[in-house]
Structure 1
């Protein structure tokens, strides 16, 4: 009964557990909290960026297939395309115009140069989409082990305290074990969302890039027909 009352008198709130932890365990917890916050910042930013990319691509797709002449569409977009699809289109059209001689004839190899220009633009957009996702993968892979290290270190300190006090009752053992397990909980709290959203965002990025590549192929086909007609 006395042991139970003593255990109930101990503060097991998260702040109290953090305050009682050793310096090493505190550093582990702070690192995991920072990793979790940074991971969520990347997740939110990427969700917004991907939604904007899909909206921009849909808007441009409607303009592209509206029947408006490509030269007019390119002139309207100008030197400041607003989205990834427009930048890919502008890269192709820029190379298309550069491939014409003063007399209007095409310079040989224009189709390969146009394809390369659009491929380079697609690679740039893919790099933008994937930027930051490596941190989510790193967090998902390492956070549980960082938390486990904190737990092992905390349990070691708890057992050292037991050995020094030569007392194994619940009031002595429970606080140290609880502090140690908090590190593992924080590691899982950081890792699970990071893994889930890394997989989701990687898949979304692949689909968006796939749509860009499909558009580039369709655009290249249209230009090839134009070349053949010329």
Structure 2
């Protein structure tokens, strides 16, 4: 009889119907998935900023661009380095054997860097739709579990033919646990989706600013 009146999280879960249990398990799994994405993206963005800072210092150190490109190679790991390498590769390919430039070099260099930026932007945003989806749907999934649980609680009340709080409370508490888990999954997902989206946009804006500055330098060399 004591077990029937326990209100620990585990006791509430154990007493719930199979449908409500499945809802709770889904919400817990979604929450764990969201936190995995949050931690992964936080580490990834921190690493991307650090790589960009290191490359910016090297780029503006006064070292010749050809020397810097030879140092990092044609297939570097850092995102800023990849954008720089894309521009430099197209720059070198645009030179004819006689030293002249093939027409349209500037446009091709810009497109090469834009493609590299698009690939990095897609990599940065990968996983964020998970947070958006969980943030938007988890409360409704939890509400479904609550409605189902309360429906069964009222059926039990009708069968017991009593409105005694000791009979009513456990079923309602089990049902409300589903809503609580839905909010527990959704709130961090929404908060971190907005934060990480903003961080991602800021990093990509930095890449675009660098590409514009680099294109200006190359254009200046073309004019001279």
By the TM > 0.5 criterion, same fold? yes
In structure 2, which of residues 91, 100, 103 is the aligned counterpart of residue 105 of structure 1? 100
Which residue of the partner structure matches residue 115 of structure 2?
A: 120
SS in structure 1 at match of 2:75: coil
CA distance in 2, matches of 1:9, 1:181: 17
Residue 175 of structure 2: SS of its match in structure 1? helix
Post-superposition Cα deviations, 1:32-68, rounded to whole Å, max 9, x if no partner, equal 0000000000000000000000000000000000000
1:175 and 2:200 correspond: no
Structure 2, unpaired ranges of 5+: none
- The equivalent residue for 1:158 is 153
* TM-score where L is the length of structure 2: 0.98
> What is the rounded CA distance, in whole Å, between the counterparts of 1:186 and 1:134 in structure 2?
20
How many Å apart are 1:171 and its aligned residue?
A: 1.0
Distance 2:161 2:88 in 1: 80
Checking the alignment, whether the CA contact within 8 Å between 1:96 and 1:114 is kept in structure 2 is yes
Moved over 4 A (4+): 6-9
Unaligned runs of 5+ in 1: 1-5
Residue 224 of structure 1, CA deviation: 0.2
Q: Do residues 36 (structure 1) and 31 (structure 2) align?
A: yes
Which residue in 2 is equivalent to 1:224? 219
Partners of 2:213 and 2:77 in 1: CA distance: 21
What's the TM-score, normalizing by structure 1?
0.96
Distance in 1 of aligned mates of 2:8 and 2:191: 28
State the distance in 2 between where 1:45 and 1:136 align: 12
Cα deviation, 1:156-212, whole Å, max 9, x if unaligned, reads: 000000011101101100100000000000000000000000000000001100000
Q: Is the 8 A contact 1:7 1:170 kept in 2?
A: no
Structure 2 CA distance for aligned equivalents of residues 221 and 205 of structure 1: 24
Q: Does 1:27 align with 2:2?
A: no
Structure 1 CA distance for aligned equivalents of residues 124 and 23 of structure 2:
30
